[in-house]
Amino acid sequence: MLRVENLRKRYRTGDEALKGVSFSVPAGEVVGLIGPSGAGKSTLIRCVNRLVEPTDGNVFLNDLNITQLGRGDLKRARRRIGMIFQEFALVERLSVMENVLSGRLGYVSFWQSFTRRFPQADVDKAFALLERVGLSDHADKRADALSGGQRQRVGIARALEQDPELLLIDEPTASLDPKTSRQIMRLITEICRERNLPTIINIHDVPLAQAFVDRILGLQDGELVFDGPPSELTESVLTRIYGEEDWTTMRGDQDDGEDGRSARLIKEAPAELV
Ligand SMILES: Nc1ncnc2c1ncn2[C@@H]1O[C@H](COP(=O)(O)OP(=O)(O)OP(=O)(O)O)[C@@H](O)[C@H]1O
């Protein structure tokens, strides 16, 4: 369970990116975080593991108050939080297997990581994860030889290799085509449910979020203005989150998406998308 209480962030520039945000995510629930550019989505995700230092408020991962940890304890706590990034953040010249094993770097000694000698149990786990994400035949390939979708699968396996208790995912499909995006979203949500992981996905694509997540959080100008199931994300709520002009433009833009279906999907059964 993740619990965020009254989280605030004011950057040195004076920008108030989060104005007292509170919510919790129970184990196994996949939450999509939506909102216009500048709403504070990245700041929120990064405040949870303190890549960005919150100005005020608390973040609890189960019973652990992450906001109160000193450096050493924070480092240990971060092992428990898996991150998946838009640009995959792989080490290009290393193999797929080495990239997945790098998820264990927080656990093994400096010497083990320097010599890249990981315990057999870690290697076995990495093979099992590669199989789960559909890449067992690619373990020895260099990361830069993979397609975008395959690279994101490596990113997912790497995050899981660290045995996380929480997943934070930042725009996982922004660099992918529509079909691959759906495959990746399906994989992420299946795995989170299988492993009972609370998960937050920062996602720009509203129909894609609606089709796959359990719950949506809508941020607008640093405030939570929607918290509910995808089915309650009506046109008027979306207009409130994005503003009339931007939401209308977004819908128009998305008609250019695959099969011109994206905008219509809001009113259609999610199953139609998958
Ligand atoms: N390092 C920073 N220093 C100062 N202000 C920042 C910094 N990072 C973000 N901000 C400001 O905080 C606000 C929220 O930004 P944030 O990147 O969290 O929004 P976002 O919803 O993730 O946007 P996007 O969808 O464009 O990534 C914006 O006003 C932004 O300009």
For residue 238, report the distance from its CA to the centre of ligand 1, in Å: 20
Per-position b or e across 39-62, b if 16+ CB within 10 A of its CB: bbbbbbbbbbbbebebeebebbbe
Ligand 1 pocket by Cβ (under 6 Å)? 11, 13, 15, 17, 35, 37-43
The pLDDT score that the predictor gives to residue 117 is: 72
ipTM of the complex: 0.97
Strand partners, 9: 18
The residue ranges of every structural domain in the chain are 2-80+164-273, 91-163
Tell me how far apart the alpha carbons of residues 257 and 181 are, in angstroms, rounded to a whole number.
12
Tell me how far apart the alpha carbons of residues 34 and 5 are, in angstroms, rounded to a whole number.
19
The pLDDT score that the predictor gives to residue 112 is: 61
For residue 35, report the distance from its CA to the centre of ligand 1, in Å: 12
Q: pLDDT digit string (tens) for 37-69?
A: 999 999 999 999 999 999 999 999 999 999 999
Q: pLDDT digit string (tens) for 141-179?
A: 999 999 999 999 999 999 999 999 999 999 999 889 999
The pLDDT score that the predictor gives to residue 113 is: 59
Q: pLDDT digit string (tens) for 72-95?
A: 999 899 989 999 887 767 888 888
Tell me how far apart the alpha carbons of residues 21 and 101 are, in angstroms, rounded to a whole number.
35
Q: Whose CA is nearest to atom 28 of ligand 1?
A: 38
Tell me how far apart the alpha carbons of residues 83 and 166 are, in angstroms, rounded to a whole number.
9
Counting every residue, how long is the chain?
A: 274
For residue 16, report the distance from its CA to the centre of ligand 1, in Å: 9
Q: Whose CA is nearest to atom 30 of ligand 1?
A: 38
- Predicted confidence band of residue 185 (pLDDT cuts 50, 70, 90): very high
Q: What integer best gives the mean pLDDT of the chain?
A: 87
pTM of the model: 0.87
Taking residues 239-267, what's their average pLDDT?
Answer: 58
Q: What DSSP state is assigned to residue 151?
A: H
For residue 220, report the distance from its CA to the centre of ligand 1, in Å: 12
Q: pLDDT digit string (tens) for 212-251?
A: 999 999 999 999 999 999 999 999 999 999 987 677 777 6
pLDDT reading at 109 higher than 70: no
CATH of 2-80+164-273, one of 3.40.605.10, 3.40.50.300, 3.90.550.10, 3.40.640.10: 3.40.50.300
The pLDDT score that the predictor gives to residue 262 is: 39
Instruction: Indicate the residue type of 218.
Output: G
Best residue for ligand 1 mutational test, from 8, 10, 42 (most atoms within 8 Å of Cβ): 42
